[in-house]
Amino acid sequence: MTRMVTALTLHPHRLLPTDPAVRRLAGELYASVRQLPIISPHGHVPARWLADDVPFADPTSLLITPDHYVNRLLHAHGVGLEQLGVAQQDFDEESSRRAFRLLCDHWNIYRGTPVRYWLDTQLSEIFGVTVRPSADTADQIYDQIAGCLATPEFRPRALYERFGIDVLATTDDPCDDLGDHRRLAADPNWSGRVVPTFRPDRYLEPFSLTWNRDVERLGEAAGQSVDDYDGYLTALAERRRYFIANGAVSADHSHPDARTDPLEQTEARRLYRRARTGAITEAEATALRRHLVFEMGRMSAEDGLVMTIHPAISRNHHRPTAQRFGADVGCDIGVRVEFTEALRPLLNAVGTAPRFRLVIFTVDETSYSREIAPLAGFYPSVYVGAPWWFLDAPDAIRRFRAAVSETVGFGKTSGFIDDTRAFCSIPARHDMSRRLDAGYLAQLVTEHRLEEDEAFEVVHDLVDATPRKVFNL
């Protein structure tokens, strides 16, 4: 049997437009920002990795298991999630290697996807892999990565520095004592910046089966009785304060819709009591949740935590998978979302408040030109979030810029957000975004819609001044 081994190479002009004149300028624009530090104001890397700085265990648990982008497509092609170590504790060396072979053997299924692009970049730039993954090269690549992981240069803090990360935000439960963040911040050997993010979803969904228990824990964490609605709100405010004291700059919200309909205080108190006794109906719980999201916005206008919203995902679409493997394993699917009427109550209340800032993310592209860009093009507080999830991909990012720039320009967009659990994919993702913005701007210049000096200023702002301003960094 002949082994088919093909080289893995990254072209310096990858993702730049194909028209030679546009590509030339895009390449110059990209070169001017390629080395700038990474600002990552929203993501899912655990702070513990950096606090403990213990070596990553193995290639699979680093690159495959935690990354639902990778897993979901393998599953779509018939590979069981259990074969990939999802939700498993004891995943031994042999299992890890077998899972890695499955990935390499299915390399073709990622053609045309950004996952392939990110993996190529990680393998080549971080681990120095020079052969294309396949059934034949799987073991060799596995060994090469495993070898790297055993060295000090591949421990989390070393990678953080090598990646040029300036700020990294995590996503955290309001009851979290942020011990990892505190330990890290107190560590004299650590000079990076890892900030927590307040993510209160579960405490705002009174129909959830765990809500009463969650709220109890919230009260304990805040040292505040949550027996009544006012105490509960105080507890939320207190935990926000605690997060801010520990470096948090934003609060993130993800619910089935984007509505923010406030209730009368008496009605809110009544529904809270019903929820605490377990008697609340689903419709009442939805009404209370929409009110609570309004209250979160009101608090943001006061305490200055930037409000980010990621609504309208059908979570855990395939229940049998969620029951067996838990949440966030790739069976979340987009649904339509409405922002214009949904956000109206909140924006009428605090849309022009000086400290309020709202960043809107969507997986429903139709809202970009119709709703989000017009909202950000009027309200000083509103920013267009970078393409999220399925839309964090080259063609989708181009569509995003083409859909929003004509209505809001560049200054009311959020800057790139990687939103990832896959630590090693962070540089590849930010690099992809920089290439695409450079390409979009080069196109504008070549069509004489923008001058060259302006394009250089914009491409720089988008990776530096913009995210710093939007997230107060």
Work out the number of other CB atoms within 10 angstroms of the CB of residue 42. Answer: 29
Work out the number of other CB atoms within 10 angstroms of the CB of residue 471. Answer: 25
Which is closer to a second copy, CB of 51 or CB of 393?
393
Work out the number of other CB atoms within 10 angstroms of the CB of residue 334. Answer: 16
Choosing from 54, 245, 327, 402, the residue that interacts with a second copy (CB under 8 A) is 402
Choosing from 407, 414, 425, 433, the residue that interacts with a second copy (CB under 8 A) is 407
Site string for a second copy, 90-119 (x = CB under 8 A): ------------------xxxxxxx-xx--
Choosing from 446, 463, 470, 471, the residue that interacts with a second copy (CB under 8 A) is 446
Cα torsion at 215, 216, 218, 219 (round to 10°)? 120
Choosing from 183, 454, 464, 473, the residue that interacts with a second copy (CB under 8 A) is 454
- By rule CB under 8 A, what count of residues binds a second copy? 94
In the complex, minimum distance from the CB of residue 393 to a second copy, in angstroms, rounded to a whole number:
4
Which is closer to a second copy, CB of 157 or CB of 255?
255
Residue 82 is a binding residue for a second copy (CB under 8 A): no
Residue 78 is a binding residue for a second copy (CB under 8 A): yes
In the complex, minimum distance from the CB of residue 281 to a second copy, in angstroms, rounded to a whole number:
20
Q: What is the DSSP string of 173-228?
A: -TT---HHHHHHHH-TT----EE--B--GGGG-TTSTTHHHHHHHHHHHHT---SS
Site string for a second copy, 313-352 (x = CB under 8 A): -x--xxxxx--------xxxxxxx-x-xx--x--xx--xx
Work out the number of other CB atoms within 10 angstroms of the CB of residue 321. Answer: 18
- Choices 35-43, 58-66, 260-268, 442-450 (CB under 8 A): range interacting with a second copy: 442-450
Written as six digits, the tokens of 107 are 């390399």
In the complex, minimum distance from the CB of residue 421 to a second copy, in angstroms, rounded to a whole number:
17
Cα separations in angstroms, 423 against 56, 88, 124, 312, 452: 11, 20, 15, 26, 34
| Closest residue by Cα to residue 339 from 247, 404, 272 | 404
In the complex, minimum distance from the CB of residue 199 to a second copy, in angstroms, rounded to a whole number:
22
Cα 473 from Cα 461, distance rounded (Å): 14
Helix (H) or strand (E) holding 471: none
Which is closer to a second copy, CB of 373 or CB of 422?
373
Cα 204 from Cα 211, distance rounded (Å): 8
User: Across the beta sheet with 38-40, what order do the strands follow?
Assistant: 38-40, 165-169, 194-195
In the complex, minimum distance from the CB of residue 456 to a second copy, in angstroms, rounded to a whole number:
12
In the complex, minimum distance from the CB of residue 418 to a second copy, in angstroms, rounded to a whole number:
16
Q: Which amino acid is at 160?
A: Y
Q: Is 457 exposed, middle or buried (0-12, 13-18, 19+ CB in 10 A)?
A: middle
Map the footprint of a second copy across residues 128-147, applying CB under 8 A. 132
In the complex, minimum distance from the CB of residue 10 to a second copy, in angstroms, rounded to a whole number:
8
Cα 426 from Cα 403, distance rounded (Å): 25
- Choices 142-150, 157-165, 184-192, 361-369 (CB under 8 A): range interacting with a second copy: 361-369
Cα 417 from Cα 140, distance rounded (Å): 33
Which is closer to a second copy, CB of 200 or CB of 394?
394
Map the footprint of a second copy across residues 216-245, applying CB under 8 A. none
Residue 13 is a binding residue for a second copy (CB under 8 A): yes
Work out the number of other CB atoms within 10 angstroms of the CB of residue 315. Answer: 12
Which is closer to a second copy, CB of 107 or CB of 190?
107
Choosing from 45, 51, 450, 470, the residue that interacts with a second copy (CB under 8 A) is 450
Choosing from 98, 269, 355, 399, the residue that interacts with a second copy (CB under 8 A) is 399
Choosing from 370, 421, 460, 468, the residue that interacts with a second copy (CB under 8 A) is 370
Residue 265 is a binding residue for a second copy (CB under 8 A): no
Cα 16 from Cα 261, distance rounded (Å): 44
Residue 15 is a binding residue for a second copy (CB under 8 A): yes
Residue 395 is a binding residue for a second copy (CB under 8 A): yes
Choosing from 72, 182, 269, 324, the residue that interacts with a second copy (CB under 8 A) is 72
Choosing from 311, 385, 394, 427, the residue that interacts with a second copy (CB under 8 A) is 394
Choosing from 133, 174, 374, 427, the residue that interacts with a second copy (CB under 8 A) is 374
Residue 3 is a binding residue for a second copy (CB under 8 A): no
Choosing from 261, 284, 457, 464, the residue that interacts with a second copy (CB under 8 A) is 457
Backbone angles phi, psi at 196, to 5 degrees: -80, 165
Q: Is 28 exposed, middle or buried (0-12, 13-18, 19+ CB in 10 A)?
A: middle
Choosing from 51, 102, 408, 422, the residue that interacts with a second copy (CB under 8 A) is 408
Distance of CA 402 to the CA centre of its chain: 22
Written as six digits, the tokens of 160 are 């953080």
